[in-house]
A and B are shown apart, each in its own frame.
Chain A
Amino acid sequence: MAEFMFATGIECSYPTINGGRWRIDQLAETKHYENWRRDLELVRELGLRFLRYGPPLHLIFQGPGKYDWTFMDQVCEAMKQLQIVPIMDLCHFGVPDWLENFQNGELPQRLSEYAGEFARRYSWVKFYTPVNEMYVTTRMSALDGVWNEQLRSDDAFVRATCNVAKASVLMMQAIERERADAVFVNSESSEFYQACCPDKEIRRIAEFENQRRFVALDLLYGVQMQSDMYAYLIDHGMTRDEYEWFLSQDVARRAILGVDYYEWNEKLINSDGRPENLGELFGWYVITNQYYQRYKRPVMHTETNTPDANEAPAWLWRQWHNVQLIRQNGVPVVGFTWYSLQDQVDWNIGLSRAVGNIFPVGLYDLNRDPRPVAQAYKHLVEMFRDEPLIAGAEVLTVQ
């Protein structure tokens, strides 16, 4: 029977910084490698079944046709024992050293091979996120110069976007060949840009950014984009053949649109034309509705948290009430996620440096002691466990 997907996630980002010389591995920073069994047990103690889980791609995929499944075999066995339903997050902000970075044209094919191997080995896994937050991945790597290739150009951004979108398509196809009833949760960071003033140039920048946030998902789902955005892609290196290829694919049939939301997702374009964090202006409801109207897919709230641990229960309930209202208004939301299970490290500086700052956004701290939001989430899940699912959501049946 299909059920509303209350979930959490294990923070698993693994981008490189410092020109590729240093890899940030959140599974290591948060001590998940030592505590993975305990972490899985905590998921069940919270009353949850669904878990966004990112296997360490950079450790597993060691070369063409070369994989080390030792760690994942243990984790998957424990997941089955605990009846955890994983949403496997196959590429989370980084790639193995030998694949270099998101500029590599070989990436889509290689990640597709990995996804196919993964689905073959763990054939009981039904839910997948092929590439997590494509927009954030490409923006931070190729436009803001923070992770991986650390480039700052439109050419690099367009190349990275084409590569991750193509990788997603090929990965979904590879997984479907192994498991025809697989369900894909395409998590993306919800973004919104507000012009600060009626200045024509400022409004143009805001409008441009509000289109650019959709580019990767447009390519993935084969949605015809605005002519100016199409021109931007062509001007910066995408070929017409590539674009046509994206439009001719059909991977959206079994896809859920994952919409992540944090208080820094809404930005103001200031009078200098630069983005500034705006805080929660319109909120998840409004921003998600924009994504839903564009893609018309079932939606899942796939990430949220707040760094003020004391305010976190209130934030949790605010996000949940957003979900309730948008469902009442006809948007088919099928799941909700507090991200992540445990505190994170250095996300307060966007993983730009390896400092070791604890970012107290978890349901549990790094000693695996619950924070107040864990109690609140457990209570919320108990209250809404029988939340009815949308019509036609039978594809979400777990087995």
Chain B
Amino acid sequence: MARSASFLQYMRAHGNTPGPTQRPILAGAITGLVAELPAAAMLWWSGALASATEALALALWLTLILHFAAAIIGGAIYGRVFSRAANDPLGGWLFGISYGFLIWMIGPVTILQWSLGRPLVVGTAAMGVLGAHLIYGLALGLLFPGIHRLLQTKLNRLRAPQGRGTFGVKS
């Protein structure tokens, strides 16, 4: 908890709060959806999609939908947590690929393995799962700044700021 608090303090000290024109959660969700396309292709190509479908005892289309949903939510969380840092067109790829690796560690390696009582997939398919998450993260990091920029409103289209620290605004 203390570590979490100091991490948040660190982010705040660096002014990580989104600016008035930014839409990091929406940008993250859309980017997550786009980044899932190459990741899903990797899952399909490596046979991981079929293996995971079998392991989870679901229909193929349902597995795919769940993975797309997770990718969208993952993208939204990425946008909210990294916010301004995710906007860096030069460094974003590093945040992204690290995030992809983190999701792989938490999802397929830890949670799914724990809930199934065995590895989700093995062999080439296991490499495919790792590869898909790294591709997802890389695409997320690379594409986020551009997609976010498209979504941002112009400063001159915003209404007068409201709330704390906005003296002089008529109520």
Contacts and interface: CB of A to CB of B under 8 A. Distances in A.
B155 A375 contact: yes
A273 interface: no
Main secondary structure of the interface of B (DSSP, over half): loop
Contacts of B158: 375
B84 interface: yes
B57 interface: no
Contact of A310 (B12, B84, B154): B12
Q: Which one of B12, B22, B167, B169 has the highest number of Cβ atoms from chain A below 10 Å of its Cβ?
A: B167
A343 to B, nearest CB: 7
A283 interface: no
A317 B20 CA distance: 17
Contacts of A379: 160-161, 166, 168-169
Interface string B141-169: 00001000000101110101100111111
Interface in A302-355: 307-317, 321, 343
Given A365-B84, A370-B19, A371-B19, A46 B155 contact: yes
B161 A372 contact: yes
A365 B19 CA distance: 9
A312 B12 CA distance: 13
A240 B14 CA distance: 50
A356 B131 CA distance: 32
Contact of A372 (B12, B14, B17): B17
A15 interface: no
Nearest to A311: B165
B15 interface: yes
A218 to B, nearest CB: 36
A315 B166 CA distance: 10
B166 A313 contact: yes
A309 B83 CA distance: 14
B45 to A, nearest CB: 34
Across the A-B interface, the 9 shortest Cβ-Cβ residue pairs: A360-B15, A309-B15, A314-B165, A313-B165, A317-B167, A375-B20, A367-B87, A370-B19, A379-B160
Interface of B: 12-15, 17, 19-22, 84, 87-89, 145, 152, 154-156, 158, 160-161, 164-169
Given A313-B166, A317-B168, A367-B87, 6 more contacts: A313-B165, A315-B165, A369-B152, A374-B155, A376-B165, A379-B169
